[in-house]
Structure 1
Amino acid sequence: MDTKSDQPATSTPPPMSKNALKRLRKQEEWDAGKDDRRKRRKEKRHERKTRVRDERAALIAQGVDPAELKKKKQVSTLAPVGIIVDCDFEDYMMDKERVSLSSQVTRAYSDNKAARYRSHLWVAGFNKGIAKRFHEVLGDQHKNWKGIWFDEGDYISCAAKIRERMSAADGSGGEMIESLQRSLDEPCAWTRDETDPFPIPGPEPPLDEANKDVVYLSSDSPYTLERLEPNTCYVVGGLVDKNREKGLCYRRAREKSIRTARLPIGQFMVMQSRQVLATNHVVEIMLKWLECGDWGQAFLSVIPKRKGGKLRGENAESEGGDGEGADGEEDEDQDEDQDEAEAEEAKASENKEEDAVEVETSTNVGDEGKSGAEEAKETQA
């Protein structure tokens, strides 16, 4: 009789590489410090509120009218421009990268809500991991947001819905503004750059005439965006992947015969190194351009100082690439996004974070809005 154990042999897990162990230790240290970070955020909020109250009381004591101390809300105007955050890249991202993306979507909404000229903002491919996070972790807070729409369909279906809104006969599609009027008066020349950042074998397919008003932003495109155009949808790739999938957004747009373009960062800025931008940074840059009509001013006001970018002619010492999308990200930025995500979770659970990023939106049609935001991470434009 065979006396050997019938129990299944326990398989020994394969040994982890040094980099994997390093990532694991870093994640464990981050998780262990979650309570401390939450405590510090709470203390900072209390300190900020106390400081604001003291400064206000001092001014009132000096005879300042309290009514003059109230913040005056900036008047917001809806412009006939669509911005679509394409989140249909679930299969290419890890869990922590989906957390980063959800934070960037929140800040993109916040920036659009606070902008002088806001856009028709849509989130395409809102399903799977990112939708689950908004539903389960963030308590469906996005259902209260205004001026943004979430759609399970792809960016082309979202563009069709935006197109219908912008062409509304009652004028609710947006007000023509100075920066967009210039694009009507002086149509942009759509010329291919001499150098192709990401050559693709084979001839370029003809554009889809039905979607000629859709432009997919990608740093890999051989076309440079000169100006934003009215009644046009600009797609920002919601991809946070540490630059693993090079050219993914560009190839996806080419396969569907969609026009592509890259932001003219290289023409206006000198970077210390090639830096891709976070989804919300790309959105904010376009909103700034709508306000001022100047790419240099828009880049300078949005691109984080840590990236070392300077306007050309300001004696910048080193020159780097002109990426403007988000195929990658820095580890320190990932930590910032995780920290921001924790703050969002705390706000969703406590429902009293007055100084956190404003979060209210709606999947319903008809409400427009805007709000203020802060830092972020890299993802494809």
Structure 2
Amino acid sequence: MDSVTKDEKEETQASATMSKKQLRRQQRQEKWLSIKADVRAKEKQRKKRKRREALERGDVMAPTRKKLRTNTMAKSSCKTSVVIDCSLDSYMGEKDITKLVKQIQFCYSSNRRAQNPMQFHVTGVHGQTKARLESIGDYQNWDVNFTSKDYHEVFEKENIVYLSSESENTLQELDPNKAYIIGGLVDHNHHKGLCHSLAIEKGVGHARLPISEFLDMKTRKVLTINHVFDILLKYTEMKNWSQAFCSVIPQRKGAHVKQDVESSSQTDKQESETSSQTDKQESETSSQTDILLQESETRSKSGTQEYETSPQTGTQDCESSSQTGTQECEFSSQTDIQECESSSQTGTQEYETSS
């Protein structure tokens, strides 16, 4: 009793020292803990029901965790290497480092859900970036190639293409033998042109995404790290820059495909439809020709069988007629002999009687 009374007194004293806001927060926490198990169980049942209804409707479901674990870069047919350069730690504060790591997580999530993931590398991991990655969990078990080395130490210099919006070179297509570097810099445009100048300084290749060639944008052509990564990922799947841009760039940027690109794509679509219709007509004509040839062959075979049957029938008729004629001839000869003998006997008898 004394111990219980002592605990109650301590709780009362603690409550007396807490503000009203702290007391409300504590009450909400206690209420949540009391209903937490029931809420989680109901949520689990709701997800199961939702998934079952989606399967009944025939909707395309997101991949399961089990499938995601088997969908690795090693099994992928896509060998394009994309690298996030995290060696720019000193140009960012703590909040920007947090955003950088979050964008790396988005890239990893997109890549592992792709049918054929790209070869994803994160280089120059040290300092604040490494500390942040370690704080969110065991990132070393991700299907990502993390290293503290710089990108030019991992890849051959001639195979490196640093992506920068300031570059005068336009990226036309992705080469599986190249490594495409995305600068791991979240600076809100405070260090404009930094990645381009660093690429020139290190003597590596550089290029920009062909945004201006395919899109008209109302805002600046500045994209986040995960947006650039997703565009490259979509291009490996679609092999079409305009479709890759439109599927990734947010609507708030007001991006739309240029008219000449749209007309060109429509022309290609019409040509494709015309070609498919022509192929279909040729296929139908070929099918009809094959049917006529088969009918002709069937008639020829039928005529040959009739011809072969006719001589056999004629031969049988002839043989039957010959046999019948022979039998009739033999019968007639026998009749004549009998008549002759009968006539001779009658004549002899008459002669003897007369005598």
What TM-score results when the alignment is normalised by the length of structure 2? 0.56
Instruction: Give the structure 2 partner of residue 131 of structure 1.
Output: 130
| Residue number among 157, 175, 184 corresponding to 1:229 in the alignment | 175
Q: Post-superposition shift, 1:105?
A: 0.8
Structure 2: runs of 5+ lacking an equivalent: 1-27, 263-355
Q: Could you tell me which amino acid in structure 1 is paired with residue 142 of structure 2?
A: W
Distance 1:46 1:104 in 2: 32
| Residue number among 288, 313, 316 corresponding to 2:259 in the alignment | 313
Instruction: Give the structure 2 partner of residue 144 of structure 1.
Output: 141
Instruction: Give the structure 1 partner of residue 49 of structure 2.
Output: 54
Match of 1:118, SS state, is coil
Number of corresponding residues = 222
Offset from partner CA, 1:176-204 (integer Å, 9 cap, x none): xxxxxxxxxxxxxxxxxxxxxxxxxxxxx
What TM-score results when the alignment is normalised by the length of structure 1? 0.52
Distance 1:260 1:152 in 2: 22
Mean Cα deviation higher: 227-236 or 76-85 = 76-85
- Residues 99/54 of structure 1: CA separation in 2 closer, same or farther (3 Å cut): same
Q: Could you tell me which amino acid in structure 2 is paired with residue 142 of structure 1?
A: Y
Distance 2:51 2:78 in 1: 36
Give matches, 1:1-381, under 5 Å.
51-56=46-51, 64=56, 77-135=76-134, 137-139=135-137, 141-146=138-143, 148-160=144-156, 211-313=157-259
Distance 1:47 1:302 in 2: 34
Distance 1:302 1:312 in 2: 16
Distance 1:159 1:294 in 2: 27
**Conserved 8 A contact 1:122-1:158:** no
Match of 2:79, SS state, is strand
Q: Could you tell me which amino acid in structure 1 is paired with residue 79 of structure 2?
A: P
Q: Post-superposition shift, 1:58?
A: 5.1
CA RMSD, 1 decimal: 3.6
Distance 2:62 2:207 in 1: 42
Q: Post-superposition shift, 1:224?
A: 0.6
Q: Post-superposition shift, 1:155?
A: 1.2
Offset from partner CA, 1:64-95 (integer Å, 9 cap, x none): 599x9795859772422111100111111111
**Conserved 8 A contact 1:281-1:303:** yes
Structure 1: runs of 5+ lacking an equivalent: 1-34, 161-210, 317-381
Match of 2:192, SS state, is coil
Quote the sequence identity (%): 36
Q: Could you tell me which amino acid in structure 1 is paired with residue 221 of structure 2?
A: Q
Q: Post-superposition shift, 1:46?
A: 8.9
List structure 1 runs of 4+ shifted beyond 2 angstroms.
Answer: 44-60, 68-78, 313-316
Distance 2:112 2:106 in 1: 10
Q: Post-superposition shift, 1:117?
A: 2.5
Distance 2:57 2:243 in 1: 35
**Which structure has the larger Rg over C-alpha atoms?**
2
Distance 1:254 1:46 in 2: 57
Match of 1:274, SS state, is coil
Q: Post-superposition shift, 1:120?
A: 1.6
**Conserved 8 A contact 2:63-2:113:** no
Q: Post-superposition shift, 1:157?
A: 1.2
Offset from partner CA, 1:348-369 (integer Å, 9 cap, x none): xxxxxxxxxxxxxxxxxxxxxx
Q: Could you tell me which amino acid in structure 2 is paired with residue 77 of structure 1?
A: S
Q: Could you tell me which amino acid in structure 2 is paired with residue 53 of structure 1?
A: K
Distance 1:69 1:224 in 2: 37
Q: Post-superposition shift, 1:45?
A: 9.5
Distance 1:263 1:294 in 2: 12
Q: Post-superposition shift, 1:264?
A: 0.4
Q: Post-superposition shift, 1:257?
A: 1.1
Q: Could you tell me which amino acid in structure 1 is paired with residue 155 of structure 2?
A: A
**Conserved 8 A contact 1:78-1:120:** no
**The structure with more helix, counted as a fraction of residues:** 2
